[in-house]
C-alpha cells in the first residue's frame, strides 16, 4: 500500500516517504535490532545522521541540511510515519533527537544553539526533554523541582521521571520552578549538560523497552547563561516544542497502525480455514475494512493538524487540531493493532512477532505528550473559546 498518496502529497513528498521506508527496512532496522533494549542506541543515532535523516530536522546554519529555520510539521509527520512502518526503534530515536533539541533551537541563545545543535544533528550528541516529574505528568504547570537562587544563577534540586534518553543523554532541556506558587508562569527552562555535578539517574524498564529513566538533581548549579528563553517563561518554551511535535506523535501511531493493517491483510489473504481464505469470512473482511478506515481517518487528521501548524504556528486552531490528531490517531492505532492480533490468532502473541512488538509499542503514545483524557479536555476547552 502507498498511504502517503493521501492528502494530495507532492511527488517529492511521496518519494521521501518511500525512500525513508526503504532506508528504515534495509539499513536502520538491522542496526536497531542489534542494540541493547532500554538503552540509547548511539550506533542507530549515528546511522540516522549518516543517511541524512537527522540533518533534515535542523537548519544548515546549525549543522543540519535545511534551508529554512525548522522542519515543517507535515514533513516531520511523514518521516515519523514512514519510519514507524518499518522500525519503531528508528522512529523513536529520530523523534527523541528532535524533541530534546528543539527547545534549544527555538528558544536558545546563539551560543547555546552553536554548542549543542550541530552535534545533535550530526548524531554525536543525544539530547533529552526533561519535563515530567514523579507526581506531575499531565499537570506540567504544577512542577516542583526547585531552582533556588545562588549568586548569579540557581541550584536545581528535585526529581524528574519518565524522561526519554535519561540517564544517558549528553544534554537536557530541563524545566524547574523559579517562582513558587505561581503555576505555569513560575517555570523556567534550563540547558543542563549530562555530566553536570549533582546530576544522576537510573533507567526505567517499560513493557516496550525504550531509553527512559529518572533523574535526581542534588543542587545542580546553573547560571544565567543556561536559561532557555526568559526566566519564568519556561512553560512557553515547552509548549512551542510540543505544538510542533504533538501531531507527529499521531503520525507515529498511524505508521504502527498501517504496519499492523498490512500484516493483517497479507495474513487474511494467505491463511486458510475451513477450506477458504480468512478474508472471505465476513467477520474478518469487515474488520479489515474498519481497520483501513480508522487508519486513513487518523492519517488525514494528523496531516491536517500538521498543515495547520505549517500555515501559522501561532494560529489558535493549532492547539485543537493537534489535540484531535493525537487523540484520534493513538486511539485508532491501539484498536487496529489489537484487531490485527485477533485476526492472526495465537501466533501474533509469540515473542518476536511483528504484532507482539507493535502491541507493546502502541500503548505508550496514548499517555505521553498529553494523555488521551488531556487531549479531550483540550478539545472541549477549545470549543468554548
- The residue ranges of every structural domain in the chain are 3-126, 128-233, 235-383
CA distance 273 to 334: 26
Contact 126, 45 (CB under 8 A): yes
Helices assigned H by DSSP within 312-345: 317-344
Closest CA to 365 of 249, 234, 219: 249
CA distance 104 to 72: 17
Catalytic annotation on 133?
A: no
CA distance 272 to 249: 36
Q: Which H/E stretch holds residue 228? A: strand 227-228
Q: What angle do CA 107, 112, 113 make, to 5 degrees?
A: 70
pLDDT value, residue 385: 83
Q: Which residues pair with 223 in a beta bridge?
A: 153
Contact 125, 155 (CB under 8 A): no
Catalytic residue among 75, 91, 331, 369: 369
Superfamily of segment(s) 3-126: Acyl-CoA dehydrogenase/oxidase, N-terminal domain (1.10.540.10)
pLDDT value, residue 2: 45
Cα 264 to chain center, whole Å?
Answer: 25
pLDDT value, residue 102: 96
Q: Write the class of the CATH domain 235-383.
A: mainly alpha
- The 3-class SS string of 104-122 reads HHHHCCHHHHHHHHHHHHC
DSSP string, 225-287: GGEESSTT-HHHHHHHHHHHHHHHHHHHHHHHHHHHHHHHHHHHHH-EETTEEGGGSHHHHHH
The terminus-to-terminus CA distance of the chain in angstroms comes to 40
* CB within 8 Å of 269: residues ≥ 6 apart: 277, 278, 279
pLDDT value, residue 181: 87
pLDDT value, residue 349: 95
Cell 534549544 sits at which residue? 104
Superfamily of segment(s) 128-233: Butyryl-CoA Dehydrogenase, subunit A, domain 2 (2.40.110.10)
SS3 assignment, position 134: coil
DSSP string, 291-306: HHHHHHHHHHHHHHHH
Contact 49, 126 (CB under 8 A): no
CA distance 102 to 129: 9
Q: Which residues pair with 15 in a beta bridge?
A: none
DSSP string, 153-214: EEEEEEEEEEEETTTT-SEEEEEEESSTT-GGGGEEEEEEETT-TTEEEEE---SS--SEEE
Contact 364, 208 (CB under 8 A): yes
Cell numbers that stand for 159 in this block: 526529581
Cell 535545511 sits at which residue? 66
Cell numbers that stand for 263 in this block: 500484516
Is cis: bond before 167, omega within 30 of 0?
A: yes
CA distance 36 to 59: 31
* CB within 8 Å of 152: residues ≥ 6 apart: 223, 224
pLDDT value, residue 8: 76
pTM for this structure? 0.94
CA distance 156 to 174: 10
Ramachandran bin of 216, using left for φ above 0, alpha for ψ from -120 to 50, beta for the remaining angles: beta
**One digit per residue, pLDDT tens: the chain, 385 residues?**
444 445 678 999 999 999 999 999 999 999 999 999 999 999 999 999 999 999 999 999 999 999 988 899 999 999 999 999 999 999 999 999 999 999 999 999 999 999 999 999 999 999 999 999 998 877 777 889 999 999 999 999 999 999 999 999 999 999 999 999 888 899 999 999 999 999 999 999 999 888 999 999 999 999 999 999 999 999 999 988 988 998 999 999 999 999 999 999 999 999 999 999 999 999 999 999 999 999 999 999 999 999 999 999 888 889 999 999 999 999 999 999 999 999 999 999 999 999 999 999 999 999 988 899 999 999 999 999 8
Amino acid at each position: 500500500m502507498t498511504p502517503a498518496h493521501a492528502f494530495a502529497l507532492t511527488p517529492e513528498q511521496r518519494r521521501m516517504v518511500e525512500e525513508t521506508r526503504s532506508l528504515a527496512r534495509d539499513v536502520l532496522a538491522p542496526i536497531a535490532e542489534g542494540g541493547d533494549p532500554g538503552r540509547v542506541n548511539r550506533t542507530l543515532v549515528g546511522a540516522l545522521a549518516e543517511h541524512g535523516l537527522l540533518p533534515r530536522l535542523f537548519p544548515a546554519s546549525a549543522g543540519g541540511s535545511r534551508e529554512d529555520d525548522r522542519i515543517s510539521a507535515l514533513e516531520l509527520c511523514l518521516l515519523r510515519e514512514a519510519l514507524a512502518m518499518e522500525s519503531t526503534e528508528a522512529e523513536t530515536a529520530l523523534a527523541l533527537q528532535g524533541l530534546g533539541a528543539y527547545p534549544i533551537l527555538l528558544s536558545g541563545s546563539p551560543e547555546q544553539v552553536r554548542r549543542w545543535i550541530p552535534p545533535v544533528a550530526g548524531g554525536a550528541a543525544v539530547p533529552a526533554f526533561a519535563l515530567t516529574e514523579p507526581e506531575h505528568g499531565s499537570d506540567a504547570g504544577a512542577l516542583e523541582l526547585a531552582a533556588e537562587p545562588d549568586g548569579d544563577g540557581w541550584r536545581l534540586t528535585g526529581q524528574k521521571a519518565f524522561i526519554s534518553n535519561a540517564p544517558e543523554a549528553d544534554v537536557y532541556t530541563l524545566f524547574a520552578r523559579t517562582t513558587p506558587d505561581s503555576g505555569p508562569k513560575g517555570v523556567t527552562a534550563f540547558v543542563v549538560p549530562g555530566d553536570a555535578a549533582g546530576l544522576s539517574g537510573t533507567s526505567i524498564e517499560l513493557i516496550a523497552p525504550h531509553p527512559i529513566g529518572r533523574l535526581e538533581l542534588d543542587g545542580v548549579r546553573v547560571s544565567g547563561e543556561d536559561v532557555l528563553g526568559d526566566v519564568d517563561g519556561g512553560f512557553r518554551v515547552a509548549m512551542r516544542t510540543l505544538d510542533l511535535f504533538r501531531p507527529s506523535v499521531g503520525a507515529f501511531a498511524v505508521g504502527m497502525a498501517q504496519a499492523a493493517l498490512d500484516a493483517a491483510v497479507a495474513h487474511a489473504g494467505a491463511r486458510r480455514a475451513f477450506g477458504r481464505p480468512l478474508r472471505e469470512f465476513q467477520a474478518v473482511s469487515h474488520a479489515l475494512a474498519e481497520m483501513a478506515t480508522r487508519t486513513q481517518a487518523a492519517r488525514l487528521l494528523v496531516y491536517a493538524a500538521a498543515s495547520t501548524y505549517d500555515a501559522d504556528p501561532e494560529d489558535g486552531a493549532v492547539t485543537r487540531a493537534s489535540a484531535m490528531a493525537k487523540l484520534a490517531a493513538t486511539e485508532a492505532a491501539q484498536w487496529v493493532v489489537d484487531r490485527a492480533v485477533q485476526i492472526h490468532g495465537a501466533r501474533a502473541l509469540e515473542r518476536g512477532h511483528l504484532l507482539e512488538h507493535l502491541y507493546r509499542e502502541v500503548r505508550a503514545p496514548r499517555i505521553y505528550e498529553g494523555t488521551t483524557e488531556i487531549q479531550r479536555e483540550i478539545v472541549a476547552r477549545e470549543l468554548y473559546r
